[in-house]
Structure 1
Amino acid sequence: MSRDDEQQRLIRSQWDTTKATGNKMWQQKRRLADAMRLVIERLVPSNAPEDELSRAADALERYAEQLKKHPRLKKVMGHAESANAGDVGAFFDQSPLIGLANPLAPPVTLSHTGEQTAEGAVTFGSAYEGPPGSVHGGFVAAAWDEVLGFVQSLGGNPGFTGRLTIHYRNPTPLHTELRFKARILRIVGRKTFTEGEMYAGDMLCAEAEGLFIAAKPGRLEELSKAREALEERLSGS
């Protein structure tokens, strides 16, 4: 296997957050995040009584204070773009779009279908509602940023989002599996051009085009140092 082939295998493996982890802490972190997703999903439309909500809030506030006592994890930076770097436990599992250990993530799942093509899937619940019964367009755009960010990384020249254009064709339904198809159009120097479509069943909901630009030498190191400084400040607060 060539060095380039090995790099591509590693990139594809890193993006697969659905694979089992042998780390007991991360297993429980994923479990807790999943439980928190359920709380968010069920709280938004709930008409629970005041006393029950108060007890739940008290319990969560106590646990938030408990978490504050533990040291913060450091993420490992490797490539540019949200979640396009590091190992599963240190970066991908914490992604706000695909991270199974991040309760904000729906989560989106991703897989490559060819050398420069990929697919994704996600189901947005009630917490993501915008128009009645439909996903808020901002979350659709965020999902597209992650999907196109994944497919552009397959070209071996991963970069930051330079431009993201979304064409909303139909309202995107809640509680429905959405399927993404994405591909690299061309690579020109530091620029990678991508496009894709998102479907709910046979209905085209949105199309997207993305331009990604590889970071200049030293830029990622600058961002990593800035993040380390932020972590030190947050740890001391």
Structure 2
Amino acid sequence: MTNDDTGTPNGGATIPDAEPLAAAADLGRALRELIEVSVTTTVPAAEVRAAAELVRQVTERLAVARRPASQLPALDDLTTGRRVFNPVTGAGSALAPPLVVRREGDGVVGEATLGVAYEGPPSFVHGGMSALLMDQLLGSAAAAAGLWGMTAHLELDYRGPLPLETKLVFHARVAENTGRKSVITGTIALAEAPDRSLVEARGVFVMPRTEKLEAYFGAITDASGRHSPPRRPSDATALEQD
């Protein structure tokens, strides 16, 4: 696995060219900044419209060469968990907070701070973001334990709202494994009060049977167009080194 989405080697990972990876991460960071500013700006409407036109020009510039959804990004390596555009942890994703995950004890721990772009109730994180983040973290806990699969069931109990612009801490561990099926539990808390869970999650992850894997991923290719169905079809991304 790699230590994160930067492609630092560990265990023989395939390392993409440094410049395209750095450029993708830079664009992702700039887009996240743009999204956050776009929902907090109070400039006049004319200025907002001018900004929208600039964004459309940039979109046209990037759209001249695109990959289809069935083709893996050249920067990704599923065998190591490097997913540069993962919408939760990807350094190149405009949607990602991004969540940073590392091993800890018999599970994993993650950290993230969510801005106003992720708002649900005024000044608090949208409840759907908790589900997105916990699904990712539970999958990472499975990967850290050498297990994998796809989410079959996810349930959350909301004990209290998560404040925006506040460092959050996430924990997850495998509670049960019976071959193709794993039960994984996790929590979200404030970093300053990690023992008081504000969100509790329980997920069931199931390894699809061979015929399902072919149906789901048989059309996937690598960046060169070569047939390349993932051997570990999981959203879980690489963990940072301790």
TM-score (norm 2): 0.78
Instruction: State whether structure 2 residue 66 is matched by structure 1 residue 75.
Output: no
Deviations 1:20-54 (A, max 9, x none): 67520120111011011011101102111122212
Which position in structure 2 is the counterpart of 1:129?
A: 119
Match 2:48 to one of 48, 53, 59? 53
Deviation at 1:19, TM superposition (A): 5.8
Which position in structure 1 is the counterpart of 2:232?
A: none
Partner Cα distance (1:104, 1:127) in 2: 9
SS of the residue aligned with 1:46?
coil
Deviation at 1:224, TM superposition (A): 2.6
Deviations 1:44-80 (A, max 9, x none): 021111222122111111121121211327317xxxx
- Could you tell me whether the CA contact under 8 Å between 1:36 and 1:103 is conserved in 2? yes
Partner Cα distance (1:134, 1:47) in 2: 20
Deviation at 1:227, TM superposition (A): 5.0
Match 2:57 to one of 56, 59, 62? 62
Superposition pairs of residues 22-101 of structure 1, within 5 angstroms: 22-72=17-67, 74-75=71-72, 85-86=78-79, 92-101=83-92
Superposition pairs of residues 78-227 of structure 1, within 5 angstroms: 85-86=78-79, 92-114=83-105, 116-200=106-190, 201-202=192-193, 203-226=196-219
- Identity of matched residues, %: 31
Deviation at 1:198, TM superposition (A): 1.2
Give the unaligned 5+ runs of structure 2.
Answer: 9-15, 226-242
- Could you tell me whether the CA contact under 8 Å between 1:86 and 1:92 is conserved in 2? no
Partner Cα distance (1:66, 1:225) in 2: 32
Which structure is higher in RCO with an 8 Å CA cutoff and minimum separation 6? 2
Give the unaligned 5+ runs of structure 1.
Answer: 1-9, 77-82, 233-237
SS of the residue aligned with 2:139?
helix
For 2:188, the aligned partner's letter is M
- Could you tell me whether the CA contact under 8 Å between 2:6 and 2:21 is conserved in 1? no
Distance 1:18 1:125, change over 3 A: farther
- Could you tell me whether the CA contact under 8 Å between 2:119 and 2:164 is conserved in 1? yes
Partner Cα distance (1:84, 1:139) in 2: 26
Of Structure 1 and Structure 2, which has the larger fraction of its residues in helix? Answer: 1
SS of the residue aligned with 1:94?
coil
Deviation at 1:145, TM superposition (A): 0.2
Partner Cα distance (2:129, 2:18) in 1: 30
For 1:70, the aligned partner's letter is A
Deviations 1:177-227 (A, max 9, x none): 110111111210200111122111214211111110012124334323345
SS of the residue aligned with 2:40?
coil
Distance 1:102 1:158, change over 3 A: same
RMSD of aligned alpha carbons: 2.3
